[in-house]
Amino acid sequence: MRLKSVHQVVPCRLAVGVMMFGIGSLSSAEPVAPSEVAVRFLVDSSWEGGYSGRIHIENNGGPTIDGWELSYLDGPEIGALWNAQWETDGARTTLTDLGWNGSITSGDFVEVGYQGVGSFLEDVRDAEFNGVPIEVVYAEGDSGDDEDTPSDPDFNLDGRIDGNDLSQLLANWGTVSTTFDLDRSGVVGGGDLTILLSAWTTEGDPDDGDGDGNDGGPEFEQKVVGYYIEWGIYGRDYQPADMPLEKITHVNYAFADIGSDGRIKIGDPYAAIEKLYPGDSWDQPYAGTYNQLNNVLREQHPHIKTLISVGGWTWSGRFSDVALTEASRTLFAESCVEFIRTYNFDGVDIDWEYPVEGGLPSNTRRPEDGVNYTLLLEEIRRQLDLAANEDGRPYLLTIASPAGWDKVRHLEIDRLSEVLDFINIMTYDFRGSWDLSTTAHHASMFENPDDPSDANNVSSRYNVDWVVDEFLAQGASPEKIVLGIPFYGRAWGGVADPLGNGGLFQPGSLVPPGTWDDWSSGATGVNDFFDIEDLIASGAYTRYWDEVAKVPYLYSPSMHQGHFISYEDAESLEYKIDYLLDRNLGGVMFWEVTADRNETLLDVIVENLEPIAP
């Protein structure tokens, strides 16, 4: 016997069956006449070996149903299910409400979504509803009755299902408007939103109109992986819908944490699943940024792939324990699969900072972390592949890899390349104001021999070119290497300019404030790119170019006792894109999307990558 409880939002598409039944009694409620309750089996989409289905249970005018249980023999073979407890005992399947969806008032409905195995069959028998035998009747699709046919969501009659229609529907949320009540449920709500978004996708909108059938997503061969930060919804006021998803192929959501039980857990529950956005309702499985990204926005941008990124600088402390034993690895991998199924992610991105050495002083670390990291990723890969076979959809596994030579040396890169879909290399933060002994480039393309740190063999290995060569030499497949691009700069204060070269390779004496610094963070010296654009526009800064390293930097003698900022701009980014194309690398990753609010750098990426072959 197995018991599962999974929540997920699934779009509506095609009704394929209907069953009507009478009920002697519903919990403590009065009996409901056969005409007052309907259960519809629907199929949203299908593929070879499986399909996506729903069971729609509707109270068509009867008394309130307080708690429900549907039980039957045979029926659809289910690989995964959400919005109900799912129990199987031999050939009998029992579905039970989850509490929040147990009450079905007159005219209301609940839906249970599932992923079916094989083909849809009409073979339910010996069915019971709340313990009372029911008769199941199937129909050959929609009857053609206008009352069962959803209305057209093209409200403004412009031939498109788009944001204008969505805005009108949301403006009428909770009303009894017949125009916007697409599912004829009696009130404008979640079912109507699902129908609109589904029509938006399946009818080709938002096709960009160029005749290639593309949905408006990126039209190039390489990956563009952007990190979205969970805390961006607060002071930055950057919501998921603010992302230019038409220019991105993969969104890595930063971050999930690891609990004391060794399982993945939500970082900020309010942001992730509780915050209400326009169109959300109290009775949906979850709200927040997870729902916006993985359900609402995905319907508008079906090309996008979303991954939950685990760890990061702050939450990498338990990775060493998670990777330590076969049992701990298995548990963590199982929790990752459950997590992405629950919240509809396309995969998992592991951001361990870092195995063996580095990271926060409080992190647990062991000499065997590097080997255990490989074993952990292999177990996650194994379980993701099993889930993919069950669910009929591929699941991705990636990592955010260190770039510093002292950390790269602990990785088994050849084995990682085999198990990962691609490797996001953090080719930035090579230098920063944590070391005030000298200014330098934090995302250098090539080595500049004038860097005084080269005496310690640092600058020769702290650059993009060395990192790529090292990964390739250790067996990484070129197409799996994704170059990291910083959408921010790193700064030093108290920098003099005795050589007239803008303070390059000079000592600093203080860490200047960054874009988002406050009393809690202290000064970090981190400036988002849109902030750097404003500094340049102010006239107080001069831009310099290092022709050897192929990167820019800014200097102001009047600000912060001499302000030096190393950063990425359009010119340096074009060099990096040319480099990755010449070496047949897999694409670019950037940290992070809120920092390039004018989309200046993102536009450079999109305009310079390799177009998709016709």
The answer to whether residues 594 and 238 touch, using CB atoms and an 8 Å cutoff, is: yes
3-state SS class at 351: strand
What crossing angle do the helices spanning 190-202 and 163-171 adopt, rounded to 10°? 170
The answer to whether residues 110 and 83 touch, using CB atoms and an 8 Å cutoff, is: yes
The CATH homologous superfamily for domain 223-485+573-608 is Glycosidases (3.20.20.80)
Q: What is the pLDDT of residue 483?
A: 98
Q: What is the pLDDT of residue 161?
A: 74
Cα–Cα distance between 177 and 173 in angstroms, integer? 9
3-state SS class at 480: helix
Q: What token pair was written down for 17?
A: 């069956």
- Torsion of the alpha carbons at 591, 594, 598 and 599, rounded to the nearest 10: 40
Tokens 């050495």 belong to residue: 357
The CATH homologous superfamily for domain 150-202 is Dockerin domain (1.10.1330.10)
- Domain positions in the chain are 2-143, 150-202, 223-485+573-608
Low-confidence ranges of the chain (pLDDT < 70): 1-36, 44-49, 136-152, 155-160, 162-165, 167, 171-179, 183-187, 190-191, 194, 197-217, 219-220, 454-457, 611-614
CATH classification for the domain delimited by 2-143, as one of 3.40.640.10, 1.20.1370.20, 2.60.120.10, 2.60.40.290: 2.60.40.290
Q: What token pair was written down for 432?
A: 């920063």
Give the strand order in the sheet containing 109-117.
14-20, 37-47, 50-59, 109-117, 78-82
Name which of 566, 423, 581 is nearest 492 in CA terms.
Answer: 566
The answer to whether residues 292 and 233 touch, using CB atoms and an 8 Å cutoff, is: no
Q: What is the pLDDT of residue 147?
A: 40
Cα–Cα distance between 65 and 36 in angstroms, integer? 11
Q: What is the set of active-site residues? A: 353
Cα–Cα distance between 501 and 506 in angstroms, integer? 10
Cα–Cα distance between 516 and 208 in angstroms, integer? 36
Q: What is the pLDDT of residue 16?
A: 35
Q: Say whether the peptide bond before residue 255 is cis (omega within 30 degrees of 0).
A: yes
pTM: 0.68
Q: What is the pLDDT of residue 485?
A: 99
